[in-house]
Amino acid sequence: MDRTSFFSPQAGRRIDVPRAARARFAIGDVVRHRDHDFRGVVFDIDPVFANSEEWYESIPQELRPDRDQPYYHLFAESEEDSYIAYVSQQNLIRDTGGDPVEHPALPQVFEPFDGARYRLRAGLSH
């Protein structure tokens, strides 16, 4: 299988990635966790798991997602709090409610919500 790699600061090492890795969601998409009561806006995507081993091992083994799938960095919100989440693709679904996410970091990175998704502020795209 054809592979590439990138350096992950969170993991502190190079991560091997199959070239066929495909993200279901894009930066600016509003998503919801499949099992937990929170939603968020995608602000970065890792093509495969690229966080620390401690983080991965902290997930109970029976719930631990596969490493070889995209993982998403989210500006997340729940009823009680706003925070940054790191979630596997298998645990996310598109949020179709049409409501904006209320995370304090959103205005620094994204334009106002357009009713469907968030667009990166000018000058922040690659």
CATH number for the domain spanning 47: value is: 2.30.30.390
Establish if 21 belongs to a structural domain. yes
Total domains, the chain: 1
| Span 8-36, pLDDT tens digits | 776 677 767 666 668 999 999 999 999 99
17 within some domain: yes
What span, in angstroms and rounded, lies between the C-alpha atoms of 112 and 109? Answer: 10
Is 112 buried (19+), middle (13-18) or exposed (0-12) by CB count in 10 A? exposed
Please report which helix (H) or strand (E) contains residue 107, including its range. helix 106-109
Q: What would the pLDDT profile of 60-114 be if each residue is shown by its tens digit?
A: 999 999 998 999 999 999 999 999 999 999 999 999 999 999 999 999 999 999 9
Q: Does a structural domain hold residue 93?
A: yes
**Is 44 inside any structural domain?**
yes
The pTM of this model reads 0.83
User: Alpha carbon 75 to chain centroid distance?
Assistant: 8
